[in-house]
Amino acid sequence: MALLDVNDLRVRFETHHGTLRAVDGVSFTLDEGETLGLVGESGSGKSVTNLGIMGLVPSPPGVVEAGHVLLEGRDLVQMSEEQLRGVRGNDVAMIFQDPMTSLNPLLTVERQLTEVLELHRNMTRAEARRAAAKGLDEVGIPEPERRLDQYPHELSGGMRQRVMIAMGLLCEPKLLLADEPTTALDVTIQAQILELMKDLQERRGTAIVLVTHDLGVVAGMADRVHVMYAGRLVETGPIGPLFKEPRHPYTRGLLKSVPRLTGDPDRALDSIQGQPPDLANLPAGCAFAPRCGFVTPSCEIDRPALIQAPDAGDTSNSRRSACFETKNLPPVATDDHAQQGTTR
């Protein structure tokens, strides 16, 4: 049985401009110790998917609908708020993309770390402080005892992100939802954070859902990748075959927009023309059709389903694509940087 089984997750927001379908029928599974990458442009539904799993979508205006969101067989959608509080931080933890706004500026690092231990592990204040110091040490923060007495504004961006990771892992959750954990960090700190997450995952067997815009991060971290557009999954599959031979024009556009080490420095970067659609007023057919270079008349009328896309490089037969022109897409040239993660 999969650790996480998400079936037909839908999240809508009732606004003055109409119903906005931020997540529209997303389904996937995740096994213990596996990393799943969620990629796509801003507004594609990645972060809202994680919030829907955690039961953190603000209501109103948000409404979560799903066939089920099973964590080890327990349906999170059917749980009461009190039951969810027992799951959050204990079995499922989330790293938010901006630690400066996620950490409480009025509380010390110690209080923000020890609270979860006192709540879920019934520790005394002294026991929780020792465990929190150990947690900070594990994520590479020097002088952890001194850092416990500091406030978030006294820490660097990299340290605040490490505090968020330590907070998420203190209770050794089975599932970690990482929402752009390296946003706004310089590349050196990014590499350290990602290496830290991989090391902790290997030692604890934690499953990770990694939300990011950075395809290089996905290549180095994920086992599988799901590409989202306009609230829906448009392509899924193992990281290697998907990077080598994308089966959806949107995925192809994302890969072509990655700077190449062997590229011409005087040539402008490729980009996907146009803007993402208005989620409150989606077109009748494929949502990507207005921006697609392979559009056909049927694309503007019918919405393609996410179906199996046979691939000789995918022995698990898990490739899926939501495109009528899957078989007609030309290959995408990728460089060593983009393929770093394809030999995992």
Helices (H) and strands (E) in the chain, counts: 11, 13
Which tops the pLDDT comparison, 305 or 269?
305
Percentages of the chain per state (helix, strand, coil), in multiples of 5: 35, 20, 45
Other Cβ atoms within 10 Å of 132 Cβ, number: 28
| pLDDT recorded at residue 332 | 66
At 336, is the pLDDT very low, low, confident or very high (cuts 50, 70, 90)?
Answer: very low
Which tops the pLDDT comparison, 168 or 39?
39
> Is pLDDT at 25 greater than 90 in this prediction?
yes
Q: Which two tokens stand for residue 28?
A: 């996937």
pLDDT winner (highest mean) among 54-58, 212-216, 227-231: 227-231
The mean per-residue pLDDT over the stretch 245-273 comes to 85
Task: Give the pLDDT confidence of 65-107 residue by residue, as tens digits.
Answer: 877 999 999 999 999 988 998 898 889 998 887 777 788 999 9
> Is pLDDT at 186 greater than 80 in this prediction?
no
For tokens 């050794």, name the residue: 172
Other Cβ atoms within 10 Å of 184 Cβ, number: 14
| pLDDT recorded at residue 11 | 95
> Is pLDDT at 341 greater than 50 in this prediction?
no
Cβ atoms 141, 162 nearer than 8 A:
yes
The pTM assigned to this predicted structure is 0.87
| pLDDT recorded at residue 202 | 86
At 158, is the pLDDT very low, low, confident or very high (cuts 50, 70, 90)?
Answer: confident
Least confident residue range of 112-116, 152-156, 263-267 = 263-267
d(CA 127, CA 248): 52
d(CA 93, CA 171): 9
- What's 74's DSSP letter? E
d(CA 291, CA 181): 29
| pLDDT recorded at residue 333 | 57
At 311, is the pLDDT very low, low, confident or very high (cuts 50, 70, 90)?
Answer: low
Which tops the pLDDT comparison, 157 or 333?
157
Task: Give the pLDDT confidence of 104-120 residue by residue, as tens digits.
Answer: 999 999 999 998 898 88
Say how many CA atoms lie within 13 Å of 168 toward its Cβ: 31
**Which residues touch 307 (CB under 8 Å, ≥6 apart)?**
320, 321, 322
Cβ atoms 235, 247 nearer than 8 A:
yes
E strands present in the chain: 4-15, 18-30, 35-39, 62-65, 68-71, 74-75, 92-95, 175-179, 207-211, 224-229, 232-238, 307-308, 320-321
Task: Give the pLDDT confidence of 35-63 residue by residue, as tens digits.
Answer: 999 999 988 999 999 999 998 998 888 99
At 124, is the pLDDT very low, low, confident or very high (cuts 50, 70, 90)?
Answer: very high
